[in-house]
Amino acid sequence: MTQKEKLVLVGNGMAGVNAVEHLLKLAPGKYEVTIFGSEPHPNYNRILLSYVLAGDSKVDDIVIHPFEWYTTNGITLHTNQTVTDIDITAQTVTSDKGITVSYDKLILATGSNPFMIPLPGADKEGVMAYRTIRDCEIMIDSAKKYKKAIVIGGGLLGLEAARGFLNLGMKVDVVHILDTIMERQLDRPASKMLQEALEDQGMNFLLEKQSAEIIGDKRVTGLKFKDGTVAEADLIVMAVGIRPNVELAKKAGLECNPGIIVNDYLQTSVPNVYAVGECAMHRGVAYGLVAPLYEQGAVLAKHLASVETAPYEGSVVYTKLKVSGVDVFSGGQFVDAEGTKAIRVHDEFSGIYKKVVIKDNKIIGAVLFGDTSDGTRLMQMIREETDISGMEKTAILKDNSGSGAASGVADMSDDTIICGCNGVTKGTICSAIKEQGLTSVEEVKNCTTASRSCGGCKPLVSDLLAYTLGTSYDKNAAKETICSCTEHSRDEVVEAIRSKGLTHVREVMNVLGWKNEEGCSKCRPALNYYLGMVNPESYRDDSTSRFVNERMHANIQKDGTYSVVPRMYGGVTNPAELKRIAEVAERFNVPTVKLTGGQRIDLLGVKKEDLTAMWEELDMPSGYAYGKALRTVKTCVGEEFCRFGTGDSMAVGIAMEKRFERLNTPAKVKMAVSGCPRNCAESGIKDLGVVSVDGGWELYAGGNGGVKVRVGDLLTTVKTEQEIIEYTEAYLQYYRETGKYGERTSEWVHRLGIDHIRDVVQDEAKRKELCARMDTALSVTKDPWRAAIDSKKIRQDLYEVVELT
């Protein structure tokens, strides 16, 4: 029997282990493998840390290879051990625990170190990086004790960390040195659109700020800037870049600048020593994303297996931001330069921006915001340097054939990586589809992990299903699960609540076999909503499953205070009410009183402990400015005062707001009533907009004036004010029953189609049934502040301030 060669891998991370995995397949039995890793964990997917931080996954869910995988493959694994020395003459490595192992071939895959800005005070407790499971655990733990975080760095990692903090209920400032975020991936328009979308999610940006000093005693209390201003913080995460981890390599005498220099076969300057991953420097580039590292790993594995391979010639990279609710894609060279021309599409109504950069009839880069479905196809064209001289410009941005052929999957080789994050190839996906009988993107994801991360490769996976299954593939049957805790879709969950008579959040999770028994920040609020929607009379709301603003019945502001927004029906008030508001504002030292866009008064800067007393003295209903519920009904003055008015918009608006106040809906609902088609109340961009026209009223559905501006579609025309209420009841109840939690009516109308919704509400029998169910739902609502004023327990639990020691 021939003696096995000894292969040692230093670094149990994504790049190194991926290369070993390939090698084991190509040359089983050729090497005796030993792996050293500084972290205590088996190989895990670092890019999914953001999901752990966001509460959508647990640590176990992100493990790529569990400990058994090493045993099964005969690999000796030393976790919790850092290799401190390489003897390149004796060909041995030695760890900090004193273990020495000899090698015939050595792979260094030591990754990167996060760069920590050497600010005065950077050594204080509560200042950290974001790179490992341990960092993630510290951040999750801190969120239980502390309330305010600062992330320094407005790049991909910083924004994902900031989103995680928001999910953990912390307030977060993102500090960035430039005036645009993600500037390395996005051009200015896309960057500004992203900033706006993230601000809508609650992120606060401090741009063009240079950090000067971290302040605090033992633990951080704030960040001082060069302009003299200070932002408070109990936790500071630096996400300002990475540096190749080359300490070990340098000590051993390998050539580094700044990463470990490698050639096209990943060989370093020392014989039998290779480097792969973020620590390696290839043709002047050290990559910081997984797709290129996997490409390097594939070449290295073939080389070590003595399988013929083309050299590694570098990668064209692309990125996607893994923050739910914002679709961002960036790839190749997206900046305009000499000799380049660009195709730009900016649809301000839909919040979509696309830019494709072209040079010498080839696409060299792209930025997509709002709709990233073109991303994978454009990347393919960039990589293959497709000549586009004969193509229509509109065809470049729009894949309108809808078949697998369009994305070119048929022509791809089996080795083509479809999902770069998880390194899944076309061959693996096609074999799984055939051998396991898979029929949907969701099943492919669960079976092969393709599209498990940002999901940007879903269109390609879908094309592969079409290509492999032919006409038997039903694209629309692809199932979207509520979150990664379950394999059930929204419709299946609602159906199970109805048919099995499920009555509380935990019961749904138990009966439907939730993978994560605690659920996550995505599924728990959704289940709470669905349960209340199905059983409005019997369900007891689970406030622990609600987002913090809804739990507190107040919006937390960026300085830790709250805002109080009493309801003003139809934006109409009177002197007595205004006096009362003024008196309360004075008595409680409210620093800012602001008129909102929804025609009411916002008292800003209220202390948590003053909330209930203020509401009691105001003696006005809650305006639900924090909730997934009816917010406002904006009105114009209408026929009572306006010479153009044909309808009494104020009276109609007041009646609507009184009817639907406190109604729980899948997402916030804004309405408006205008007294004539001049539309002064902006009825065209509301979830439901009413406009008085000659002889009646028009109802517009699914409008939105937010990030993705959408003009509402005409739902129906009615004659009387009573009919307005009746159609609105039916429309909103149908939205409540079929909308996904978190889905605005603009998305819902787009998904279901206005024709379908119109058919439902115009069918008299269906409309009456919907109205009856709406009546039941409305009959059980109560003002949340009344409940808090009347209950000592609620006051103690939610609003008393407990000093943290």
Ligand X SMILES: Cc1cc2nc3c(=O)[nH]c(=O)nc-3n(C[C@H](O)[C@H](O)[C@H](O)COP(=O)(O)OP(=O)(O)OC[C@H]3O[C@@H](n4cnc5c(N)ncnc54)[C@H](O)[C@@H]3O)c2cc1C
Residues 6 or more apart whose CB falls under 8 angstroms from that of 704 comprise 685, 686, 687, 710, 744, 745, 746
Q: Tokens 């953990």 correspond to what residue?
A: 168
Residue 277 contacts ligand X per CB under 6 A = yes
Closer of 277 and 784 to ligand X (Cβ): 277
Q: How open is the CA angle 764-767-771, to the nearest 5 degrees?
A: 140
**Considering CB distances under 5 to 8 angstroms, the limit depending on partner class, which of ligand X, ligand SF4, none binds residue 49?**
ligand X
Q: In this chain, which of 54, 83, 656, 685 binds ligand X, going by CB under 6 A?
A: 83
Question: Out of 7, 8, 9, 11, which residue is the one contacting ligand X (CB under 6 A)?
Answer: 11
Q: Which is nearer to ligand SF4, 349 or 644 (CB)?
A: 644
Residue pair 691/698 in contact (Cβ under 8 Å)? The answer is yes
420 binds ligand SF4, rule: CB under 6 A: yes
Write down the residue that tokens 């001049």 correspond to: 678
Q: Which does 50 bind (CB under 5 to 8 A by kind): ligand SF4, ligand X, none?
A: ligand X
Specify the residue, 534 or 652, whose C-beta has the smaller distance to ligand SF4: 652
Q: How far is residue 704's CA from residue 200's CA, in Å, rounded to a whole number? A: 14
Q: What is the DSSP letter of 125?
A: B
Q: Min. distance of Cβ 740 from ligand X in angstroms?
A: 24
* Among 97, 678, 719, 756, interactor with ligand SF4 by CB under 6 A: 678
Q: Name which of ligand X, ligand SF4, none residue 293 binds, using a CB cut-off of 5 to 8 Å depending on partner kind.
A: ligand X
Q: Are 39 and 79 in contact (CB under 8 A)?
A: yes
Residue choice 456, 571, 653, 666 for contact with ligand SF4 (CB under 6 A): 456
Antiparallel, parallel or unpaired: β 630-635 and 669-674: parallel
Q: Is 633 in the site for ligand SF4 (CB under 6 A)?
A: no
- 36/369 with CB nearer ligand X: 36
645 binds, among ligand X, ligand SF4, none (CB under 5 to 8 A by kind): ligand SF4
Q: Which stretch binds ligand SF4 (CB under 6 A): 261-269, 451-459, 493-501, 661-669?
A: 451-459
Return the DSSP state at 256: B
Q: Please choose, out of 156-164, 323-331, 633-641, 710-718, the segment that lies near ligand SF4 by the rule CB under 6 A.
A: 633-641
Number of residues that bind ligand X (CB under 6 A): 35
Pick one of 26, 66, 76, 82: the residue that binds ligand X (CB under 6 A). 82
- Residue list 646-665, contact with ligand SF4 (CB under 6 A): 649
> Quick count: other Cβ atoms within 10 Å of Cβ 587?
12
Select from 552, 661, 681 the least CA-distant residue to 610.
552
Query: Is the Cβ of residue 38 or residue 451 nearer to ligand SF4 in the bound state?
Result: 451
Which one of 266-274, 290-298, 486-494, 529-537 is the stretch in contact with ligand X (CB under 6 A)?
290-298
Q: Give the angle 134-135-137 at the CA atoms, nearest 5°.
A: 65
Closest CA to 38 of 112, 147, 149: 112
- Does position 290 interact with ligand X (CB under 6 A)? The reply is yes
Q: Does 485 bind ligand X (CB under 6 A)?
A: no
* Options 216, 288, 519, 605; binder of ligand X; rule CB under 6 A: 288
| Per-residue interface string for the shown chain with ligand SF4, residues 284-323, x marking contact by CB under 6 A | ------------------------------------x---
Mode of pairing for the β-strands spanning 688-693 and 696-701: antiparallel
CA gap 41, 12 in Å, rounded: 9
- Contact, 317 vs 292, CB < 8 A? yes
Q: Which stretch binds ligand SF4 (CB under 6 A): 60-68, 587-595, 671-679, 734-742?
A: 671-679
CA distances from 218 to 125, 143, 313, 569 (A): 6, 18, 49, 51
User: Quick one: what does residue 712 bind among ligand X, ligand SF4, none, with the CB cut-off 5 to 8 Å set by partner type?
Assistant: none
Which of positions 240-259 make contact with ligand X (CB under 6 A)? 245, 248
Tokens found for residue 181? 């975020």
457 lies in the site for ligand SF4, by CB under 6 A: yes
Q: Does 23 bind ligand SF4 (CB under 6 A)?
A: no
DSSP for residue 126: T
Contacts of ligand X in 622-661 (CB under 6 A): none
* Residue located via tokens 């977060």: 172
Q: Determine if 454 is a binding residue for ligand SF4 (CB under 6 A).
A: yes
- Say which entry of ligand X, ligand SF4, none residue 36 contacts (CB below 5 to 8 A, set by partner kind): ligand X
Per DSSP bridges, beta strands 211-216 and 105-108 are: unpaired
The verdict on 13 binding ligand X (CB under 6 A) reads yes
Give min distance, CB of 476 to ligand X, in A. Answer: 28
Contact (CB, 8 A) for 683 and 636: no
Region of 286-294, 496-504, 622-630, 682-690 interacting with ligand X (CB under 6 A): 286-294
Q: What is the dihedral of CA 188, 190, 196, 198, to 10 degrees?
A: -120
Residue 158 CB neighbour total at 10 angstroms: 23
Question: d(Cα 686, Cα 672) in Å, to the nearest integer?
Answer: 7
Residue with tokens 């088996």: 42
| Residue 623 contact among ligand SF4, ligand X, none, beta carbon within 5 to 8 Å by kind | none
Write the interaction track for ligand SF4 spanning residues 502-521; mark x where CB under 6 A is met and - where it is not: --------------------
Reference 580, options 620, 614, 618; nearest CA is 618
Report phi then psi at 449, rounded to 5. 75, -5
Burial 122-133 (b: 16+ CB within 10 A, else e): eebebbbbbbbb
Q: Does 12 bind ligand X (CB under 6 A)?
A: yes
Contact 169, 192 (CB under 8 A): no
Identify which range of 173-181, 308-316, 635-643, 749-757 contacts ligand SF4 by CB under 6 A. 635-643
Name the 3-class secondary structure at 645. Answer: coil
Residue from 33, 49, 127, 304 binding ligand X (CB under 6 A)? 49
Residue 701: φ, ψ to 5°: -120, 145
Name 509's bridge partners.
Answer: none
Q: Which of residues 409-428 bind ligand X (CB under 6 A)?
A: 421
Residue 670's binding partner among ligand X, ligand SF4, none (Cβ under 5 to 8 angstroms by kind) is none
105: helix, strand or coil:
strand
Structure tokens at 205: 């940006």
Q: Is 739 in the site for ligand SF4 (CB under 6 A)?
A: no
Length of the chain: 805
Residue 16 binds ligand X, judged by CB under 6 A: yes
User: CA angle 386-390-393, nearest 5°?
Assistant: 85
Closest CB 453 distance from ligand SF4, rounded Å = 3
Cβ(110)–Cβ(82) under 8 Å? no
Shortest spacing between CB 270 and ligand X, in angstroms: 16
CB 675, min distance to ligand SF4, A: 3
Quick one: what does residue 525 bind among ligand SF4, ligand X, none, with the CB cut-off 5 to 8 Å set by partner type? none
- The whole-angstrom separation of Cα 252 and Cα 711 is 64
Whether the bond into 189 is cis, omega within 30 of 0: no
Q: Which of 642, 752, 771, 789 binds ligand SF4 (CB under 6 A)?
A: 642
Q: Where are the beta strands (DSSP E) in 504-625?
A: 555-556, 562-564, 592-595, 601-606
Among 173, 232, 278, 687, binds ligand X (CB under 6 A): 278
Does 409 help bind ligand SF4 (rule: CB under 6 A)? no
In the set 22, 24, 46, 649, which binds ligand X (CB under 6 A)? 46
| Residues binding ligand SF4 (CB under 6 A) | 320, 419-421, 451, 453-457, 636-638, 642, 644-645, 649, 674-676, 678-680
Name the site residues for ligand X (rule: CB under 6 A): 10-16, 36-39, 46-47, 49-50, 82-83, 109-111, 130-131, 157, 160, 245, 248, 277-278, 288-291, 293, 322, 421
